[in-house]
């Protein structure tokens, strides 16, 4: 796992721009604390920050291969989990390797198959290859969008980076956010390619983007497609068990300490059980980590996202698989630290995140990084197996809108409520969301003969796998890499995603519950109590003192009415939110205050220009 940055300029000599290349690369230092490198030629500059995971001495980047027609160089962030199979195949074709790194395998795969090498990779990656033979840059992003990748076209080429901050470090880029950027920021629909900053975009998952003297070309090498499901229920469960076992085993490969994030839910417990069983066969004991809050188990109150506290279920998993387990217990007072909030806003490059669920995740990852460099996560199982509560709510299913916005939770409601009335009118969030929903639904392909219900549920899952999961994956990547921790997501293995996407919905909930297939496929490694547990969201503090401190900080922000962030904020809404009883503060109001504070710090950090019509 690393950070990459780069620049192509066909009308300039970039050998004179090393300082700018170094500055762009330097913004990725948190993603790659172990090493730094640049590779510069007249029309291209590549930068890399390395977090060493595989072949610690041999995997330095940028990595170069000389051909008679000119060099080929790569910068690469992520992991290729099938690199050993690819290496063996390429060796049989006559390729010679100097290192044991997956980066060199990726480079030789390009030499062998050209741009079609992307279809051969199994992993999470964002990579850029400069091919001097054709003076072209080839950029590839993994199928699900696990690794972030941003691009900014220029008059004579392109800028790119793992994060927007790398591109923003180039003096040729203005830090402008226009009305479309603000709409997306508060709408929670994750429009493909969106990147907040005007002129910048994400490279879409599953695509190859080629930059040459004649322009920029994009090719889709993977997307969700409807296919027949031929297996019966028993065979489907066995297939899921095989795929889950294989992907967890692949993702345990590392030359550094690794662990599993354990929440006590079905998803992370399944990964923990499979990992523990595999490593036990090698004489190893898996490490696991969980986050908790002071006094939470004793004072827990059920809410719309959680029926039970996590801790009892975590203990059940620990008692069953015997990992080396550690609780990271946080006090609410730590979560309100303004400096911590600034760290998280900087990590995400944007405001309006998830409040203390972001700051606690940052502190959890920070504590893990002291003992491990790689962590496996249960992230994305709900999108793949159909685990969210709203996926099983008949009213939500019937509604023509993004499901996560219909279901009553801290994520639903009027996310634009914090914006001043004049700006809310310009944003027209209801109209924007309706347009985005219609666009997203029209892109979903169906099989002939599918029932109306199956078609609706395919749309439901497609929206989660092409929109919602990308928000969750970006959050996970940005916050983990801000402390130099690589988090892997076995549930995003594209083979598993393809298989489950085409499994009938009736099989996904065949026992009348959510995630039926995952529950039965991993029952041999998960305690009965966890198998029967209802879906619970990432934990959130319920300490009223957290709300009170948020309100106090918001009061201080409201007093700075000349601050540029306050030009966007509804003062009346914020005043009312500050005056509410902290003990009974609704979750959506708390999230709104969090967004105001994020916005305040984001303006101080990035100094954006807001461009309104």
pLDDT digits (tens, 9 = 90+) for 43-89: 999 999 988 787 677 778 999 999 999 999 999 999 999 999 999 99
Look at residue 596 and tell me whether its pLDDT is greater than 80: yes
Q: What percent of the chain has pLDDT over 70?
A: 99
Adjacency order of strands within the sheet including 150-154 = 35-41, 44-50, 2-9, 157-161, 150-154, 201-202
Q: Say what the pTM is.
A: 0.95
In this structure, the strands spanning 136-141 and 207-212 are: antiparallel
Q: Which residues sit opposite 486 in a β-bridge?
A: 374
The model's pLDDT over 140-153, given as tens digits with 9 standing for 90+, comes to 999 999 999 999 99
What is the DSSP track for 360-426?
A: HHHHHHHHHHTT-SEEE--TTHHHHHT-SGGGG-HHHHHSSS-HHHHS-STTSS-TTTTB-HHHHHH
The model's pLDDT over 222-231, given as tens digits with 9 standing for 90+, comes to 999 999 999 9
Q: Which of 86, 80, 79 minimizes the C-alpha distance to 111?
A: 86
Look at residue 418 and tell me whether its pLDDT is greater than 70: yes
pLDDT, residue 60, reads: 86
The whole-number average pLDDT for the span 238-252 is: 97
Spatial separation of the C-alpha atoms in residues 378 and 266, rounded to whole Å: 8
The whole-number average pLDDT for the span 529-538 is: 89
The model's pLDDT over 374-390, given as tens digits with 9 standing for 90+, comes to 999 999 999 999 999 99
The model's pLDDT over 105-116, given as tens digits with 9 standing for 90+, comes to 999 999 999 999
The whole-number average pLDDT for the span 256-272 is: 96
Spatial separation of the C-alpha atoms in residues 609 and 613, rounded to whole Å: 13
pLDDT, residue 409, reads: 67
Helix (H, G, I), strand (E, B) or coil at 282: coil
The whole-number average pLDDT for the span 556-562 is: 96
Helices 233-251 and 494-501, interaxial angle, to 10°? 160
In this structure, the strands spanning 44-50 and 35-41 are: antiparallel
DSSP code, position 448: T
The conformational region for residue 357 under phi > 0 = left, psi -120 to 50 = alpha, else beta, is alpha
Other CB atoms within 10 A of residue 86 CB: 21
Residues 6+ away with beta carbon under 8 Å from 193: 201, 202, 204
Look at residue 410 and tell me whether its pLDDT is greater than 60: no
Look at residue 340 and tell me whether its pLDDT is greater than 70: yes
Q: What amino acid positions are annotated as catalytic residues?
A: 2
Spatial separation of the C-alpha atoms in residues 412 and 78, rounded to whole Å: 33
The whole-number average pLDDT for the span 207-218 is: 97
Q: Are 150 and 167 in contact (CB under 8 A)?
A: yes
* pLDDT band, very low/low/confident/very high, at 29 (cuts 50, 70, 90): very high
Tokens standing for residue 186: 């508060």
pLDDT, residue 412, reads: 65
* pLDDT band, very low/low/confident/very high, at 1 (cuts 50, 70, 90): low
E strand or H helix that includes residue 176: strand 176-178
């Amino acid at each position: 796992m690393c950070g990459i940055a780069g620049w192509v300029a066909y009308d300039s000599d970039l050998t004179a721009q090393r300082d700018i290349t170094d500055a762009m690369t330097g913004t990725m230092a948190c993603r790659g604390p172990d090493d730094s490198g640049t590779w510069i030629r007249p029309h291209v500059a590549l930068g890399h920050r390395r977090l060493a995971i595989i072949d610690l001495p041999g995997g330095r980047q940028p990595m170069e291969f000389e051909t008679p027609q000119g060099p080929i160089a790569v910068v690469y962030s992520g992991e290729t989990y099938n690199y050993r199979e690819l290496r063996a195949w390429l060796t049989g074709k006559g390729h010679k390797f100097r290192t044991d790194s997956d980066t060199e395998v990726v480079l030789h795969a390009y030499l062998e198959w050209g741009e079609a090498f992307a279809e051969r990779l199994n992993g999470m990656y964002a990579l850029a290859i400069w091919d001097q033979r054709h003076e072209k840059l080839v950029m590839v992003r993994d199928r699900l969008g696990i690794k972030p990748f941003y691009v900014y076209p220029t008059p004579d080429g392109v800028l790119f980076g793992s994060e927007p901050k790398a591109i923003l470090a180039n003096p040729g880029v203005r830090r402008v956010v226009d009305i479309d950027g603000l709409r997306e920021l508060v709408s929670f629909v994750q429009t493909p390619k969106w990147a907040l900053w005007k002129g910048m975009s994400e490279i879409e998952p599953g695509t190859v983007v080629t930059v040459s003297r004649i322009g920029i070309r994009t090719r889709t090498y993977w997307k969700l497609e409807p296919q027949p499901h031929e297996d019966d229920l028993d065979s489907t469960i066995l297939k899921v068990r095989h795929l889950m076992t294989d992907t967890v085993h692949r993702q345990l490969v590392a030359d550094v300490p690794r662990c599993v994030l354990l929440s006590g839910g079905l998803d992370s417990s399944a990964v923990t059980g499979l990992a523990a069983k595999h490593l036990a066969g090698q004489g190893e004991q898996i490490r696991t980590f969980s986050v908790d809050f002071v006094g939470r188990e004793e004072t827990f109150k059920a809410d719309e996202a959680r029926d039970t506290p996590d801790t009892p279920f975590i203990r059940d998993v620990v008692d069953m698989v015997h990992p080396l387990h550690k609780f990271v217990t946080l006090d609410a007072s730590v979560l309100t630290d303004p400096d911590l909030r600034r760290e998280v806003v900087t990590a995400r490059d944007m405001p309006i995140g998830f409040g203390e669920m972001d700051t606690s995740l940052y502190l959890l990852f920070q504590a893990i990084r002291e003992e491990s460099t790689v962590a496996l996560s249960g992230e994305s199982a709900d999108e793949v197996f159909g685990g969210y509560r709203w996926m099983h709510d008949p009213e939500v299913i019937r509604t023509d809108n993004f499901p996560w916005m219909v279901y009553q939770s801290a994520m639903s409601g009027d996310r634009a409520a914090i914006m001043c009335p004049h700006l809310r009118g310009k944003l027209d969030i209801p109209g924007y969301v309706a347009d985005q929903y219609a666009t997203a639904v029209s892109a979903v392909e169906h099989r002939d003969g599918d029932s109306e219900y199956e078609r609706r549920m395919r749309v439901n899952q497609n929206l989660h796998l092409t929109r919602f999961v990308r928000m969750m994956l970006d959050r996970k990547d940005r916050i983990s890499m801000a402390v130099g921790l690589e988090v892997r997501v076995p549930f995003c293995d594209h083979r598993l995603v393809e298989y489950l996407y085409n499994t009938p919905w009736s099989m996904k909930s065949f026992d009348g519950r959510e995630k039926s297939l995952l529950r039965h496929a991993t029952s041999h490694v998960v305690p009965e109590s966890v198998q029967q547990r209802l879906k619970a969201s990432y934990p959130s503090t319920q300490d009223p003192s957290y709300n009170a401190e948020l309100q106090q900080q918001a009061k201080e922000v409201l007093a700075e009415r000349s601050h540029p962030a306050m030009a966007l904020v509804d003062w009346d809404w914020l005043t009312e939110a500050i005056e509410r009883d902290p003990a009974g503060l609704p979750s959506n109001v708390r999230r709104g205050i969090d967004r105001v504070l994020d916005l305040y710090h984001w303006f101080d950090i990035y100094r954006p220009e807001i461009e309104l019509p």
